[in-house]
Every structure is written in C-alpha cells, then in structure tokens.
Copies of this chain bind each other. A is one copy, B any other.
Amino acid sequence: MSFSDQYQKRIRYIEGVLREYLPRQEGHQKIIMEAMEYSLMAGGKRLRPMLMMESFRFFGGEDRIVEPFMAAIEMIHTYSLVHDDLPAMDNDEYRRGRKTTHVVYGEDMGILAGDALLNYAFETACRAFDTGAENSVRIGHAMKILASKAGIYGMIGGQVVDVKSAGQNVDGGMLDFIYRLKTGALIEASVMIGAVLAGAGEEETEKMEQIASKIGMAFQIQDDILDVTSTTEILGKPVHSDEKNKKTTYVTWKGLEEAKKEVACMTEEAVGILHTINRESGFLEELFHWLIYREK
C-alpha cells in the first residue's frame, strides 16, 4: 500500500475515534454539543492523534487504551483554534473554508464551546481509567503529560507570548520560544503519551520528546517556507500572509535557504534519534518525512 493510502486509512480510523468520543447531541444544552462537533469535525491533518497512535504502535501497543487520549489531544488542539479565532484574538471569520465557530454559533457560544472542548478532553482521557486498575499508573502519567504540555508551560504559554508580541519586533530566541511552545508542545505530548501508554521506559519517552521537539520545529518552519514559496491554489489559504502581517518568521529571520537547511537538519537529527531506539520505525519515519516535505 502506498504512503498516501496508508495515510488515508489512518485518517478514516481517527475520524471514527473522534466521532465515537464526541458527546451525543441531546438535552437542554444540545447547542454546545453541536458547536463542539462543528469545530472538531472540520477536517485537518489529524497530525497529533496520528503521531500518538504511531508512537503507541512503535512501542508495541496493541489495545485501544490510546484512543481516548487520541480524541483528547485533537479536542485540545481544536479548542485552541476556536478561541484563537475569537474577535478579541485573531478575529478570523473563516478556517479551512468554513465559517469559524463563533461566527456560526455566536461569540458567547464560541467561548463556551472552547471551554467545553478543553474540559471534555480531560473527561475523555479519563475514560482510559475504565480499562482496568492495572493501567492506572501509566494513565496517570499520560494525563500529567497532556495537562502540562497543553498549559502555561506548553501550548497556552506559547499562545500568550505570540499574542503579546504581535506587531512587535521579535528576535530569534523569542521566535524559537513561541514555536517550541505553541506548536511543539502538543506534538511532544502526542508521541510521549503514545510511548507511555504502550509501556515505554523513561529513557525512551525522553528520546521521543526530543524527536518531537525537532519535528515540531521543522513542521513550523516548513509552514513559514510554504507561505513564501507555495501558491494559494495548492495551499488552500492565502500565501504571503506573514509578509502582509509584518510577522517575524524563520524565513524573514534567517532567509529562505537557511530556513530550508534548518528543516533538513532537524529532520535528520530527529530520524537519527529514532534509529537509536531498537524498533521497527516504518510508517512513523515516513510520516515525519511527509509532514516536513509536504507541499501544503
């Protein structure tokens, strides 16, 4: 099976998992369930649950204990987009060609739908505890990783600095900080949780964190590159938006060629670490390459 077929097969499986864990649309509060589904089922690369699943399989995980966490991390990623789009934040009316959540459901429901998705992520992850008392320790460990990487020392922290530095001169160190937290932290959480739930040891989990940190950074720099080199048709969103918004990016900071070198270098380093773990890295390694050398 080609990479593309394997990837599509996984996307279908992940969307099934997300649907399974979405709350039923019922009760007086039904509208919030609708808004959650509208936000969560808007498509996207499903990068985080896919990385989690592949990391879980990489370490020999075979049961379904990882599924509630796959749904949870996508819910957290989604809530961050819903709140990011709000009028007081980026004030975006469209995302992936569809109206944003607060445009469809109102600003109050946009705020509450984000809150609901964040809370429901933890509620969903907690369902892993139903798999049996013998798994409680590793689930607790996974829960800690999820909460810390999504919070003020992870994704939210990066978002805060990104918002606060809008329109300001951002230096390289600050850009690194924002990328590492805003994008990197949830990618790190994904592969770490997959590893922990499959029973990987501390050393292996740390290696996965390092790998994901490099992959996350390369992924984000590639975003900056595509904004300069791609076309609106291929990308499905306006190009040259960073230039228009006078945003500091890796490309404006280091130049296009240097940025491309950085992506290649980080990917090579990440794969190098992956090879030090004595496991069959097949699809996971292909996925890294695809994520980074993607054209959209």
In the assembled complex, the CB of A34 is this many whole angstroms from the nearest CB of chain B, namely 11
From A158-166, A209-217, A247-255, the one touching the partner chain is: A158-166
Question: Contact size class for A?
Answer: 35 or more
Give me the 7 closest cross-chain CB pairs, A-B, nearest first: A136-B136, A88-B107, A123-B147, A29-B157, A129-B140, A119-B151, A126-B144
Residues 226-272 (chain A) with a chain B CB within 8 angstroms: none
Q: A284 on the interface (CB 8 Å rule)?
A: no
Enumerate chain A interface residues (CB-CB to B < 8 A): 23, 27-29, 31-33, 36, 79, 83, 86-89, 107-112, 114-116, 118-120, 122-123, 126, 129, 133, 136-137, 139-141, 143-144, 147-148, 150-153, 156-161, 163-164, 174, 177, 181
CA distance A163 to B239 in the complex (A): 39
Does A151 lie within 8 Å of B116, measured CB to CB?
yes
- The one of B116, B140, B150 in contact with A139, judged by C-beta atoms closer than 8 angstroms, is B140
In the assembled complex, the CB of A129 is this many whole angstroms from the nearest CB of chain B, namely 4
In the complex, chain B residues whose CB is within 8 Å of the CB of A108:
88-89, 163
In the assembled complex, the CB of A90 is this many whole angstroms from the nearest CB of chain B, namely 9
Contact status of A160 and B32, CB under 8 A, knowing A107-B88, A126-B143, A140-B129: yes
CA distance A160 to B108 in the complex (A): 9
Does A28 lie within 8 Å of B161, measured CB to CB?
yes
In the assembled complex, the CB of A165 is this many whole angstroms from the nearest CB of chain B, namely 9
